[in-house]
Amino acid sequence: MLSPYLDILARNPACRSYVSNIDSDIMPQYNQRDFGELVMSGLPNLTSHPEVAKLLPYLDSQLAPEGFYADIPKAVESVLVYSGGGESMRDDIIEFAEKLKKTKGTGVDGKMETKLLVDEFGVHLEPMMDFFAGIPEDKLVPVTKEIVAWVGERVSV
């Protein structure tokens, strides 16, 4: 998960990085909130469409009830979560990764393997920018190299 968009309306008051990283990220809180409101406005009325209401945690982890992610280990053995250190969603992303680390699975100590990578100076989706820019593999920043290695260990072509 690269820079997962976890709080679609950017309303978590505990997320200090919304304020501390407002000038360093390419996706500041006010842009997240505007985009989230646009997405939510396209949903049908939740009262008359309860099946849609059940899907909201997939759009916004803040709406996920306790235990919502318990079945993830049935689908995957390991999860990689990335956040840029300069990302406005950094605190939410770290908190989410910590929740995933507690998810029971088949890994070490009965937990699902969850790896959190925080690139100290990175911004929203920065590893993808390296690829869009065509940066050669030997010139990638260390965190992006680590992501490439993690995927390479788990995916065969």
Domain boundaries, the chain: 17-154
Write down the pLDDT at residue 108.
61
Mean pLDDT of 18-42: 87
Write down the pLDDT at residue 5.
84
Cβ-based neighbours of 105, under 8 Å, separated by 6 or more: 72, 73, 77, 111, 112, 113
Among the residue ranges 59-63, 84-88, 117-121, the one predicted with the least confidence is 59-63
- Beta-bridge partners for 2: 82
Please check the confidence at residue 53 and state whether its pLDDT lies above 80.
no
Mean pLDDT of 127-156: 92
- Beta-bridge partners for 119: 84
Count other Cβ atoms within 10 Å, centred on residue 17. Answer: 23
The top-scoring range by mean pLDDT among 19-23, 25-29, 91-95 is: 91-95
Write down the pLDDT at residue 49.
78
Mean pLDDT of 47-63: 79
What pLDDT, in 10s, does the model give residues 73-111?
888 889 999 999 999 999 999 999 998 888 877 666 677
Cα atoms in the Cβ-side hemisphere of radius 13 Å centred on 8: 15
Residue type (1 letter), 133: A
Classify residue 117 by its DSSP letter.
Answer: E
Among the residue ranges 15-24, 106-115, 117-126, 145-154, the one predicted with the least confidence is 106-115
Write down the pLDDT at residue 138.
93
Contact 32, 55 (CB under 8 A): no
Please check the confidence at residue 146 and state whether its pLDDT lies above 90.
yes
Write down the pLDDT at residue 94.
94
Per the prediction, the chain carries an average pLDDT of: 87
Mean pLDDT of 47-61: 79
Mapped onto helix, strand or coil, the DSSP state of residue 80 is: strand
